[in-house]
Structure 1
Amino acid sequence: MKPTCLLSALLPAALLAGCATTADYAAPVAVETQASTQANDLQALVAQVDIPYETFTLDNGLTVIVHTDRKAPLVGVTTYYRVGSKHEPRGRTGFAHLFEHIMFNGSENVDNFDVPLEGAGSTPTNGSTWFDRTNYVETVPTGAIDRALMMEADRMGYLLGAVTQEDLDRQRGVVQNEKRQGDNQPYGLADYRVPEVLLPVGHPYRHSTIGSMADLSAASLEDVRSWFRDHYGPNNVVLALAGDIDAVTAREKVQRWFGDIPRGPDVPSVSTEPVTLAAPVSEEMADQVSQVRVTRNWTGPGLNHPDAEPLEVGMSILGGLYSSRLDNAMVYGEEVATRVSAQAQTFEQMGFLSAEFDLIPDGDRAAAEVLFLAEIDRLVSEGPSEDEVRRAATQVISGQIRSLERVGGFGGKGMELAEGLLFAGDPEYYRKRLERIASLTPADVQAAMQRWLTRPAYTLAIVPGERTLDGAAMGGWGDEATNPPPAPDAGGGVTADRTGPERAIPEVGAIPPLDFPTAERAMLSNGIPVTLVQRDTVPAVMIALTLDAGSTADSPDEAGRHQLMMDMLSEGTTSRGQLEIVIEQEELGADISAISSVDFSRVFLSSLTSNLPQALDLMADIALNPAFEGDAFDRMQAQRLAEIADGLTSPGTLAGRAMGRLLFGPENPYAMASTNGDAEVIDALTAADMRAEHDEWFRPDLASFTVVGDIDMASLLPLLEEAYGSWQAPATPPSHKAIDAPVPAPATRLVVVDRPNSPQSVLVLGRLLPLTGMDQGKEPLELANEVIGNGFLSRLNNDLRETRGWTYGVGSSLPGRVGQQALVVSTAVQADRTADSITVILDQMAAFPFDRPVTDEELQRVTLGNIRGLPNRFETNGQLLGALLGNQLFERPDDYQERLPEIYSSITADAINDAAARYLQPDDLAIVVVGDRAVIDEQLEGLGLAIEYWEAEEL
């Protein structure tokens, strides 16, 4: 799988604002309080989930599903291969995923799959591998469907003549760094250990999809050829086309591009099933973590088993819902845990059941485990209530309704249809699953949990300490102690001859102009402005209440105060308790969340249209009437302190905190605005501080509403007026945010934070720019940034990942903030290439544009490719809401998105080169390295820079 924005995996959100081209502002899950009088009829909800389709099969066995959705000129192309890591033999673990990476390198008629697809406006272009399947996704403008189909057909049928030893070696390095990146995270090795204990050696679901380092090193060019010949025939494929296409058109195009590809061998079926341990197993694992985490694990049934849905609902009741049993007992009740979870992770032939908790700092682990096990046993022995089953079912079904906005990509309608056909033999599996969930009774759930959770379990405790296990040696077959791992690939493999005909990549047809919806505006009686875009693609509405506040409302000596206040909004109001709030949310099938971003605070609501009045009432109560009760504050304060301590074990968080201080210094609130705050500040706060913070910043003269969804203004305004019309501003003027406080002059500094036993080093390079978020006309700079680092095809990513294989990905961003902007480059590189990677980054930046001006291909990709991809940016209500909110924050005109084609078309190579020369040079960059000093110190000395050593505990 390719990272779409690598920085998001490494740095706090505020340093990354603007990393992605668009933001999907769907709020996290939750919503409702009075109980069954407002409950949904679950079968009526299921009836709203509909993906009509037609199917046909070519003579070579390729199965095609077509779903027509004309709401936008887009087609989602989703290709599923019936092969995953469970099909790998001993000594070749990780190969299915490695092969997925190789499939993006090119085929006999396509040099690189990403270049022509992104040039056509595809978003996203990606792939993924798991136990049961490998998939490839792209969503393209209707005029590019022939290009997408030709390219998918070319790599399905005519790949081998283009695969070289160099391709294999490079992608091997990329995947090994993907593995290192996961292993480097706190708790990162537990995912290996759980299946190792639950399943015997040789079980198809035992070894990890990423595999072991030794097996990845052993993969040869002949392995690539054999894997392709044995598994990638059209008879092992489901192709789903969803969007602006019909079955007649699809049949002609699919036959044209795929019809000549010969059948291959059928992928052999894998015979396997869940395994029950002979006796309970308990283990401890030491890791560089701040909190003890205890997990309890079992194998579970596959997705076609009748217990799959009851267990999904039961585990949600146990630890998935906000009102879950474990939350109420351990987080809110006895307050012995800072976090709990439970889930049923279901695959084709078996699944994994798990429940876990994070112990409060210095907590009594034995007592917490007794409570943890007691709650599991109580649910199993007594069963859930009817209300619990209904709430869990409502969450699943309403979430599925909201997912119907996307035609393609991960989680889109094409994926739903393809997975149903591949794993259950039925594209309508999604609906039948929901119907089963809607009809579940407490007895059904209890019986399933009794069958599966009363078996012997594997309990794993991850405890703070020095990591002793080696992730490089984990993830493989499991018998390496007695059977040595295979020898590394000797290399020297010879590329095969061309196997298919020469075919040209189709041109992209006409792309209709972007029709960005027109916004309507109104005002409540208290002066709050309301912006609405009406859209009836799904029966749901999204509302954002925005306040001109955010984390920059805190001075540097108050860091974290405002964010803690926002997080406390849903912890109880003057008329509703915390449990009442989460139960009401779940019954309504709505989502309410409160966030503090850098420059703004927001309360989000995502609701089914039918439940909007009740959901708005709850949203208003949460926003306007928080109780800030003392016990709730004490609990949230303790959780925030634990989160800060936990962040200091994460390499990405450490790097982000260090970079914020380097760029903005001690006086500017942006220095800490991207963090969870300062522990000393949080520890000194009181519930009274929270009330004062809320009174200071929650005022109608700082507020606005932005709404997208299935409602008109005539219906919306009375609902908003009823919920918020009585909210009045105080007589005092609003407070001022000191975002223009002094910042240090840019200077070259190299800061190292030691993190022992790190297989990778996290690198962050940054500099403030003489620009603010309010400056208009920055599009040439944004496109120049796409050329150098923002995107999969950027120069930095092509060099460090695709050419050298030293990283899973690298990215640069221009974080979107109202105040002074920064340039930030971030990556995680293998530890032995730390200094080399810094040199490559600096050299690439220095060369653009003086030695390497923007090329014609790059210019076309970032201008015409962006124009063609604009419909993809606004497919969902969340994406559209994000665009509207961005326009408001940066004071852009309503027609900004519709003007983008004209703006991009007018940007010349000279304009991009000029922006790179002025803003993207490596001069005066601050550099932060988080890694193992025993490995990196000698390397860094060779850079010739003065090195500052910072302690993690001081950040």
Structure 2
Amino acid sequence: MKPIKSLCLSLFVLITLSACKQNNTKETSPEFKVDFEKFTLDNGLQVILHVDRSDPVAAVALTAHVGSAREKEGRTGFAHLFEHLLFLESENLGKGGLDQMSARIGGSGANGSTSRDRTNYFQTVPKDALEKMIWAEADKLGWFINTVTEPVLAKEKEVVKNEKRQRVDNQPYGHNSAVINSNLYPEGHPYSWEVIGSLEDLQNATLEDVKEFFRRWYVPNNVTLTIAGDIDVEQTKAWVKKYFDEIPRGEDIPALEKQPVTLKSTKRLFYEDNFARAPRLTMAWPGVPQYHKDSYALSVLTNYLSNGKKAPLNKVLIDDEKLTDNVVFYQNNSELAGQLMLSVTAFDQADLNAVASAIKDGFKDFELNGISEDDLNRIKAGQETDFYQGLSSVLGKGFQLAQYEIFAGDPDFINQDVKNILAVTPKDVMRVYNTYIKNKNFVATSFVPKGQKNLVLDNSQLADIKEENIIEGAEDTFDPSVAATYEKTPSRFDRSIEPPYGSSPELNIPKVWKKELDSGISVYGIENSEVPLVQFEIQITGGLLLENKDKVGVSNLLADLMTKGTKNKTTEELQNAIESIGASIYTYATEDNITIAGTTLSKHFDKTMDLVTEILLEPRWDETEFELLKQSTISSIQRSKANPNSIASDEFSKLLYGDHNILAYNNRGTEASVHSIDIFDLKDYYNKNLSPQLTNVHVVGAISETEVVNALDNINTQWESKAIEIPELPMPLYPEQSTVYFYDVPGAKQSVIRFGYPSLKATHNDYYLANVMNYRLGGGSFASQLTQQLREGKGYTYGIRSGFSGSEYIGEFTISSGIRTNVTYEATDLIKQILEDYGKNYNEEDLDITKGYTIKSTARAFETLGAKLNMLSNISNYGYADDYAKAQENMVKALTVDDVKMLIEKYIKPNQMVYLIVGDAATQLNKLEALGFGKPVLLNGN
């Protein structure tokens, strides 16, 4: 999968009647209706269309019913490899394929994902580019495989192997999934190997293997095309038929039988993990396939046992025994089988036998007491809100329609699915516990830090894990510039002609309302009635900025403690009150603020704000919860010390800001600082630094200005105003010259890099245009030079990006990536060269591509509630005008090549940069002196 934020694949439904409240009062079950049209081409392609005119965009998703479960042993990872290959080139899109086209048409970034049972390809585009997308998706399916050559395959193998190193080999507990699955499922079961495959299998894959796999599975009768958004149905149908219907049908593909598993005995395995700093126990039981009748009660069971203060497992493991700060329990259901996964990352030096014993005690508590109707309805209320949250994205709706089509046989199964969720009873929950967990065999893995074998579960056997050795020059070489030679696949018309744009959509800027309250609170809102949902955030300026360097971590602990009860509610009572109305409220601290945020049904906004008022104005100051939070924070800090990405982020801040700037510190604090903090420090911060005069409230959703202001009345009238001054920070300058810094993580399978320097604040006049300038350097994903040269050209990395980030107080320019260990110097030298040449080589084509993407992508700029909330944040925090998107569009239209070159000269400084590398010093450190920046500085070790 390409690097993206995870996408919510929960229920995406179009609800035509308001769903009923799931609490103690009995109300009529909600009626759901999904608005879609489905048809099938003669070649077997299933097509689903869904109309949503809320924004001028369309989402296109092509889903192939093939994942790792359709692979052969010894040739694993092929489905995931194809997820990568299909973006590269097809006969009529040419080099760069869909990635290159996405940059021109303002798409959200063509992307894909692979699971055990399906692979999908997706993107959201302005509606005027819909025909182009349909043309491109058809080209990938029918006019692709000839373009896969030996050099193309060799390069993409390197990219996928880099992804495995980044996601698995270089991560704490990264091998845990493979150990679980290879022991839970018998040898030969299609779920016994990992989706990403093995490095050995990927290396051994031949060109003929790859082509055979494609011809078997990537055929119209094994694919579903979903198009959702602001579409003309008849025109869309005509385009689909034009571009897809001459692709030949493949061999019939019979449905696979369900393959549930039964464990004959319990298996216990252990592994001493090079990157772990705390012991983790994972237990896995055989479960049920997707949409099995018992999956609904199992979902409630895992939620009830592990989520919230009342959860039986949390009571024992967190509150009573104080063995951990987090219990994770969920079901992983797939097409052929399923599994129940319980994972506990314990505190430092905790014996995993004690963890296992506490889990048994938690189960006994559930056996004695079961689940009440109130708790069951509380969980269902949360599910109601989840339904609506899925409606904020047309892409999400398209995903779920395809999901039901492929795995339930009909998109309309969504109606039955909802009924199944609402039909779960307390007896069902106890029944599935007795059926799948109580006294049943399981697989248990103990992953512990190096040298702490004494913490593993008794009678555990060493897990079989293959570690990759770091060998210089071990990777294949390839020339990605070699063009494929082949006989073009015939077509009834000339497919090399890209379809034209449709009529350009107008940028629809949401209307913003503003209100200054008497207390000094500034309120900003957007009313949007597409779904009966409201998202909100209350930002109080301060955070780390108002902390003492000797006690860093106070604001973070304060934010965490705010939801651990109120004056009149215990932690459990507060959580139950929030969940019973289907809301979520969470608090967090950043470098420059403390935020209370959440989501609620619009009909419960008043009740939600009443709870927020309690949280903000009536803290509980619970000593027991405070000590638990301290222990949890210290454990998190300890674990991060072995994570190369966390190390890189922390060390980079220190290097940029220096000892005399509070921003050099992670706002969690250090072990020493957190140990030194007591609850009186939190009270002191709360009383001195939280003020309505420093507060902005942002509200988006199905609620009016009057309703919002009325709901905030108690906060406005009861919160004491006080004048607070944010201190002036010493602002760091560009380094006088570049220096290479190295942090040693022995045996690291990748080198994590952070290159950059202090730069523009978000309030600077050049901030937006600097990011536009960076698009072709490293901000445009596959349209950027860093990605094209380091990933596509050399296979050095899975992903790399550069960008300007900032706030009202700070700004940075950063390049970040995970690089194959044995090319650390070569990759760094290439990045330096790209930076040096960027201004010299920038041309009209670069500018045209940048303008095309930046201007056209504004059509989807405010599609979701989250995007609208971000818009309000920009307006309130940085002083942007309400129509800043229009102003930015005009700025981009007026840009010239000379303008961009001037921005590059001002803000890209390859010879005044911090070059930080976190990796294996023994093999990589000394070579870096050849960069010409002097001897690298080793930050740890000798």
Over aligned residues, Cα RMSD in angstroms?
2.6
Separation in structure 2 between the aligned mates of residue 555 and residue 766 of structure 1, nearest angstrom: 27
For residues 763-793 of structure 1, what are the alpha-carbon distances to aligned partners after superposition, in whole Å with 9 as ceiling and x for unaligned? 1111123x33221233331112111111312
2:311 aligned partner: 324
1:800 aligned partner: 790
- Pair 1:353 & 2:340 matched: yes
Contact 2:22 2:380 in 1 (8 A): no
Moved more, 156-165 or 500-509: 500-509
Which residues of 2 match residues 187-206 of structure 1 at below 5 A? 187-206=173-192
TM-score (norm 1): 0.91
1:938 Cα deviation (Å)? 3.8
1:658 aligned partner: 651
- Pair 1:780 & 2:769 matched: yes
Paired amino acid for 1:191: S
Separation in structure 2 between the aligned mates of residue 179 and residue 459 of structure 1, nearest angstrom: 23
Contact 2:102 2:109 in 1 (8 A): no
Separation in structure 2 between the aligned mates of residue 117 and residue 376 of structure 1, nearest angstrom: 51
Paired amino acid for 2:65: R
Q: SS of 2:718's equivalent? A: coil
Contact 2:170 2:748 in 1 (8 A): yes
Contact 1:69 1:242 in 2 (8 A): yes
Contact 1:657 1:675 in 2 (8 A): no
Separation in structure 2 between the aligned mates of residue 397 and residue 940 of structure 1, nearest angstrom: 55
1:306 aligned partner: 293
For residues 512-542 of structure 1, what are the alpha-carbon distances to aligned partners after superposition, in whole Å with 9 as ceiling and x for unaligned? 2211111111233323221111001110111
Paired amino acid for 1:910: D
Contact 1:51 1:413 in 2 (8 A): no
Equivalent of residue 844 in structure 1, options 834, 839, 863: 834
- Pair 1:677 & 2:669 matched: yes
Moved more, 207-216 or 246-255: 246-255
Paired amino acid for 2:773: A
Gaps of 5+ in 1: 10-22, 27-35, 475-486
Which residues of 2 match residues 493-892 of structure 1 at below 5 A? 496-501=486-491, 502-503=494-495, 504-672=497-665, 674-730=666-722, 733-740=723-730, 745-769=735-759, 771-792=760-781, 793-850=783-840, 852-856=841-845, 858-892=846-880
The 1:169/1:533 distance shift into structure 2, 3 A limit, reads same
The 1:754/1:50 distance shift into structure 2, 3 A limit, reads farther
Equivalent of residue 432 in structure 1, options 401, 416, 435: 416
Separation in structure 2 between the aligned mates of residue 756 and residue 59 of structure 1, nearest angstrom: 58
The 1:381/1:421 distance shift into structure 2, 3 A limit, reads farther
For residues 888-944 of structure 1, what are the alpha-carbon distances to aligned partners after superposition, in whole Å with 9 as ceiling and x for unaligned? 212111110132221211112221121112211301211111111222134324334
2:197 aligned partner: 211
1:743 Cα deviation (Å)? 6.0
The 1:629/1:795 distance shift into structure 2, 3 A limit, reads same
Paired amino acid for 1:714: T
Work out which structure has the larger RCO, using CA pairs closer than 8 Å and 6 or more positions apart in sequence.
1
Separation in structure 2 between the aligned mates of residue 648 and residue 203 of structure 1, nearest angstrom: 37
Paired amino acid for 2:920: D
Which residues of 2 match residues 479-494 of structure 1 at below 5 A? none
1:18 aligned partner: none
2:940 aligned partner: 951
2:399 aligned partner: 415
Contact 2:584 2:600 in 1 (8 A): yes
For residues 342-373 of structure 1, what are the alpha-carbon distances to aligned partners after superposition, in whole Å with 9 as ceiling and x for unaligned? 00111112112111212222335433321112
Contact 2:23 2:374 in 1 (8 A): no
1:150 aligned partner: 135
Contact 1:291 1:464 in 2 (8 A): yes
1:676 Cα deviation (Å)? 2.2
Q: SS of 1:66's equivalent? A: strand
The 1:243/1:44 distance shift into structure 2, 3 A limit, reads farther
1:133 aligned partner: 118
1:2 aligned partner: 2
The 1:622/1:58 distance shift into structure 2, 3 A limit, reads same
Separation in structure 2 between the aligned mates of residue 114 and residue 44 of structure 1, nearest angstrom: 48
Separation in structure 2 between the aligned mates of residue 173 and residue 37 of structure 1, nearest angstrom: 52
- Pair 1:93 & 2:76 matched: yes
1:211 Cα deviation (Å)? 0.4
Which residues of 2 match residues 109-188 of structure 1 at below 5 A? 109-111=92-94, 112-182=97-167, 183-188=169-174
Q: SS of 2:642's equivalent? A: coil
- Pair 1:913 & 2:901 matched: yes
Separation in structure 2 between the aligned mates of residue 546 and residue 874 of structure 1, nearest angstrom: 21
Separation in structure 1 between the aligned mates of residue 227 and residue 140 of structure 2, nearest angstrom: 17
1:151 Cα deviation (Å)? 0.2
For residues 365-400 of structure 1, what are the alpha-carbon distances to aligned partners after superposition, in whole Å with 9 as ceiling and x for unaligned? 433321112213443565322222222222223112
The 1:152/1:703 distance shift into structure 2, 3 A limit, reads same
2:913 aligned partner: 925
Separation in structure 2 between the aligned mates of residue 757 and residue 471 of structure 1, nearest angstrom: 15
Separation in structure 2 between the aligned mates of residue 638 and residue 128 of structure 1, nearest angstrom: 37
1:845 Cα deviation (Å)? 0.4
Separation in structure 2 between the aligned mates of residue 490 and residue 93 of structure 1, nearest angstrom: 22
Separation in structure 1 between the aligned mates of residue 900 and residue 850 of structure 2, nearest angstrom: 10
For residues 494-514 of structure 1, what are the alpha-carbon distances to aligned partners after superposition, in whole Å with 9 as ceiling and x for unaligned? 854211334111122232221
1:69 aligned partner: 52
Separation in structure 2 between the aligned mates of residue 917 and residue 40 of structure 1, nearest angstrom: 65
1:479 aligned partner: none
For residues 627-675 of structure 1, what are the alpha-carbon distances to aligned partners after superposition, in whole Å with 9 as ceiling and x for unaligned? 2222111111111111111111100010111110101001112211x45
Contact 1:60 1:235 in 2 (8 A): yes
The 1:276/1:321 distance shift into structure 2, 3 A limit, reads farther
Contact 1:382 1:446 in 2 (8 A): no
The 1:349/1:289 distance shift into structure 2, 3 A limit, reads same
1:67 Cα deviation (Å)? 0.8
Separation in structure 2 between the aligned mates of residue 782 and residue 916 of structure 1, nearest angstrom: 11
Moved more, 228-237 or 330-339: 330-339
Contact 2:587 2:595 in 1 (8 A): yes
2:455 aligned partner: none
1:820 Cα deviation (Å)? 3.8
The 1:41/1:535 distance shift into structure 2, 3 A limit, reads farther
Separation in structure 2 between the aligned mates of residue 489 and residue 949 of structure 1, nearest angstrom: 31
Contact 2:91 2:488 in 1 (8 A): yes
2:221 aligned partner: 235
Q: SS of 1:725's equivalent? A: helix
Separation in structure 2 between the aligned mates of residue 425 and residue 38 of structure 1, nearest angstrom: 29
For residues 678-711 of structure 1, what are the alpha-carbon distances to aligned partners after superposition, in whole Å with 9 as ceiling and x for unaligned? 2211110000111111112221111121111001
1:180 Cα deviation (Å)? 0.4
Q: SS of 2:335's equivalent? A: coil
Contact 1:184 1:758 in 2 (8 A): yes
1:465 aligned partner: 450
- Pair 1:81 & 2:55 matched: no
1:462 Cα deviation (Å)? 1.0
1:286 Cα deviation (Å)? 0.9
Contact 1:214 1:488 in 2 (8 A): no
The 1:494/1:821 distance shift into structure 2, 3 A limit, reads closer
2:459 aligned partner: none
1:472 Cα deviation (Å)? 5.5
Equivalent of residue 53 in structure 1, options 36, 40, 52: 36
2:269 aligned partner: 283
State the identity %. 29
Count of residues in correspondence between the two structures: 905
Separation in structure 2 between the aligned mates of residue 797 and residue 245 of structure 1, nearest angstrom: 33
TM-score (norm 2): 0.92
